[in-house]
Amino acid sequence: MGQRTVMIDGAEGYKIKLHVYETDEEKVLTSVLLLHGMAEHYGRYLSFIRALNKAGIDAYIYDHRGHGEKLPQEDLGFFAKKNGDKLVIEDAVAAMKYVCEKKRSETCALFGHSMGSLIGRNLIQKFDKMDKVILCGTAYQSDSMCKSGMAVAGIVSFFCGPKHKSPFLNKLMFGNKVYLRDCKRTPSDWLTKDEKIVDAYIKDPACGFICTSSFYHDLVSITGNAKWGMENTRHDLPIFIASGEDDPVGDFGKGVKELYDRYIELGFTAVTMKLYPGDRHELLNELDRKEIYKEFIDYLIN
């Protein structure tokens, strides 16, 4: 596995540190850009990347704004003072265009997990030249929840400042009974049944942090726009929606099915969906992750 880092231009002069992991296989079967989730970093995807490389796939990944192991604690969970939602999407578009232009393979793909899947769904409304998309652990919130969430976060940001770390908004989003349903040991048990992964997540200072008020506003905006602009994506783009049946982000499968049904209603012709029984939010970190790796890889190269 060869690894190198390139700097590319994101939105408004922001420099994206794109990590490139190249397969040692003679033929590169495809190239995939990975978008990580909220309050984590690209390092948590190295196991999956090794599996991709072993299968003949080049992988590209970067830390979103306000994320990263080396970022100062005060900067974690902050996109920008204004228009952070638009900036992170433009960053993703820039990274995807780079992969499509520089790839060593004939095809390229997009993989987005959780917040990364929401950013990815916005990305494919603006740039849809990739060959396949995997949306992992995604959400499909009601219009009322999106609009009320933006309003509440906007008020907190206005009165407390955009960089205010907001335990209130964090609890409002993740402290309800939906997320705590399976949390018998720690408040982060909803992520995966693998206790070692959960413990490592809790101990990692670059994971699970409380985000800023402006971030929560941006996140809800990204979520809403991912839903409201679906029809702007080309309707023959192959999209695989994958989620755990016990994932609260996808409303335990209900929201995931609603998203799939909406794609079908809009006339999308190459959308598939799978709910993994007994699995929670982080499919790549679940106890059956090796089987999930294989299914994702098979989808990407076949």
Domain boundaries in the chain?
2-301
Distance of CA 193 to the CA centre of its chain: 19
Q: What is the 3-state secondary structure (H, E, C) of the chain?
A: CEEEEEEEECHHHCEEEEEEEECCCCCCCEEEEEECCCCCCHHHHHHHHHHHHHCCEEEEECCCCCCCCCCCHHHCCCCCCCCHHHHHHHHHHHHHHHHHHHCCCCCEEEEEECHHHHHHHHHHHHCCCCCEEEEECCCCCCHHHHHHHHHHHHHHHHHHCCCCECHHHHHHHHCCHHHHCCCCCCCCCCCCCCHHHHHHHHHCCCCCCCCEHHHHHHHHHHHHHHHHCHHHCCCCCCEEEEEECCCHHHCCCHHHHHHHHHHHHCCCCCEEEEEECCCCCCHHHCCCHHHHHHHHHHHHHC
Q: Are 93 and 84 in contact (CB under 8 A)?
A: no
Per-residue pLDDT, 175 = 65
Mean pLDDT of the chain: 94
Average pLDDT for residues 134-159, to the nearest whole number? 82
Q: pLDDT for 182-221, tens place per residue?
A: 899 999 999 999 999 999 999 999 999 999 999 999 999 9
Average pLDDT for residues 12-37, to the nearest whole number? 97
d(CA 31, CA 97): 12
**151 or 206, greater pLDDT:** 206
Per-residue pLDDT, 33 = 98
Q: pLDDT for 243-275, tens place per residue?
A: 999 999 999 999 999 999 999 999 999 999 999
Bridge partners for 22 per DSSP = 2
Superfamily classification of domain 2-301: Alpha/Beta hydrolase fold, catalytic domain (3.40.50.1820)
Q: pLDDT for 235-245, tens place per residue?
A: 999 999 999 99
Average pLDDT for residues 172-183, to the nearest whole number? 79
Per-residue pLDDT, 150 = 78
The residue assigned the tokens 């991709």 is 52
| Radius of gyration of the CA atoms of the chain, in A | 18
Per-residue pLDDT, 281 = 98
Q: Looking at the predicted structure, is the pLDDT value of residue 173 above 80?
A: no
Per-residue pLDDT, 52 = 98
Q: Looking at the predicted structure, is the pLDDT value of residue 282 above 80?
A: yes
Per-residue pLDDT, 116 = 98
